[in-house]
Amino acid sequence: MRALTALSLLAAALAQAAPLKLAVVYGHNGGTATRPALRFAEHDASRMAATLTELAGVAPADLKLLLGTPREEFEQALEWAGERIAAAHQRPGAQAILYVYVSAHGDDGRGLELGPQTLAWADLKAKLSATKADVRVAVIDACNASGMLEAGGQPTPAFALRAEDRLTVAGEAVITSSAANEPSLEAGAYKGSVFTHHLLAAFRGAADRSGDGRVSLEEAYRYAYARTVEGQSGQHPGYGFKLAGHGELQVTSLKGAATVTLPRNLEAVTISELESGDRYLEVRAPDSRTLALPPGRWELKVWRAGKARVGRLTLGAGQRITLDESALAAAPAATAQLVRLSASPHYCVEKIDSEPQLAALAQELTRALEGQEGHACFEGSQGARLTLSRERTQQLRVTGTVGTRRVDLRCDEAALAVEVGKALAAAL
């Protein structure tokens, strides 16, 4: 009886010690009437919500996912979080963490466009503070998002937060996908924004430099920042905070999750849904070998010494698989060819080989060069023939001719349409 009583008291103490974890996740593809719709903001929000519930200890009932809803519903969700936190704080010693993720248009540095309505940075900061969460972590994926940092908190060269069973820090951390006057780009191959794509990979284990099976906020930010700026997206993520305490804030844990452990020292790995071919994760020079994935059927492609190998696996709930590189098949060379129809400004995809992601990129480039806002395009009667291929460095290479002139350039996926448009315009 005494043993049972002691165990009950221990369980109660542990339950009291664990902080309440809440999340408000918002995505809106639309904006004011003057801006074209985003394609993947709502998809990014859905994936972030899934990651927080799978790996960050946020119960589904403790997360609000809002897709394409008006500003009022976002504000109501923050009020809901504040009410939940106030109720939790009635218990002595209770603590709360609030995660807020927003993917939407930025309003020229003034705030967020939540559909046709704008939420100023200062107002967003005030509403986050009003929740009175012990720790508030906000991730803002929008153009010109550094205004959120300027509205409160100071950008600093390094930070470290830690929370175990109890929080040892209190305050606010804000991460933004871009600096002032910078775009926050989407990539068709990712079906999402460049920054959020890398941040999700970080949360799923790619950023676990310590190898302890957990990803801290610091690890996640450093990983996503490095992978975002090493490409040619032209954006520089930032962060600011007002925090007191010591240690690191653990965001996700791979404990109990379905995982795949990769071979050592890979250059890159892409993981795609087997049925759809949609790319789920792309990890470049991972800091950790173990990645958490939802149960399902997956295709993995790994690169070593510039050569790709491919294989498939089925992952069950909680299953842990170590990938056997020797069992993977050599991947054929992957190219996609675009042809500009003579006397027409339009492109068509003539041939796609081997890699579905290149086909998606080819189609995205086709649309971009047909005159979509924000991308270069050109007109003329000269024919052009271009070949799109993936280099050993995982950059894309575009070669071919425009009339009698050669085109040969390398670029990151996010900058593909812009760079090719510039090269073609110069050639003509």
Where are the domains positioned within the chain? Answer: 17-252, 259-330, 335-427
pLDDT surpassing 50 at residue 421: yes
Average confidence (pLDDT) over 383-393: 61
Number of Cβ within 10 Å of residue 61's Cβ equals 8
Q: Which two tokens stand for residue 110?
A: 């003034």
Q: How confident is the model at residue 384 (pLDDT cuts 50, 70, 90)?
A: low
Which comes out higher in pLDDT, residue 306 or 12?
Answer: 306
Contact 396, 412 (CB under 8 A): yes
Q: Which two tokens stand for residue 364?
A: 């995205």
Average confidence (pLDDT) over 261-273: 89
Which comes out higher in pLDDT, residue 75 or 408?
Answer: 75
* Separation CA 366–CA 386 (nearest Å): 11
* Separation CA 147–CA 274 (nearest Å): 40
Q: What is the model's pLDDT at position 205?
A: 95
Q: How confident is the model at residue 33 (pLDDT cuts 50, 70, 90)?
A: low
What residues form DSSP beta bridges with 169?
245
Q: What is the model's pLDDT at position 182?
A: 46
List Cα–Cα distances, 11 to 14, 16, 56, 74, in angstroms.
5, 9, 21, 35
Rg (the chain; Cα; Å)? 23
* Separation CA 177–CA 200 (nearest Å): 13
Contact 369, 421 (CB under 8 A): yes
* Separation CA 110–CA 28 (nearest Å): 17
* Separation CA 292–CA 253 (nearest Å): 9
List Cα–Cα distances, 201 to 232, 282, 412, in angstroms.
19, 7, 18
pLDDT surpassing 80 at residue 322: yes
CATH assignment of 17-252, given 3.40.50.1460, 3.40.50.2300, 3.50.50.60, 3.40.50.720? Answer: 3.40.50.1460
The 10 Å CB-count burial string (b at 16+, else e) for 34-51 is ebeebebbbbbbbbbbeb
Contact 214, 250 (CB under 8 A): yes
Contact 287, 219 (CB under 8 A): yes
Q: What is the model's pLDDT at position 20?
A: 95
Cα torsion for 141, 145, 150, 154, to the nearest 10°? 50
pTM of the model: 0.73
Q: How confident is the model at residue 39 (pLDDT cuts 50, 70, 90)?
A: confident
pLDDT surpassing 60 at residue 9: no
pLDDT averaged over every residue in the chain:
75
Which comes out higher in pLDDT, residue 4 or 415?
Answer: 415
Which of 199-203, 325-329, 382-386 is the least confident region?
Answer: 382-386
Instruction: Quick: pLDDT tens for 330-378.
Output: 887 655 454 443 333 444 444 445 555 555 666 666 555 544 333 333 3
Q: Which two tokens stand for residue 302?
A: 């790994």
Q: What is the model's pLDDT at position 315?
A: 94
Closest to 143 in 3D by CA, of 200, 90, 181: 181
Q: Does domain 259-330 have CATH number 3.90.660.10?
A: no
pLDDT surpassing 50 at residue 34: yes
Closest to 235 in 3D by CA, of 105, 142, 153: 142
Instruction: Quick: pLDDT tens for 154-177.
Output: 333 443 333 333 344 567 777 776
Q: Which two tokens stand for residue 299?
A: 């295709």
Residues of the chain above pLDDT 70, percent: 61
Q: What is the model's pLDDT at position 172?
A: 75
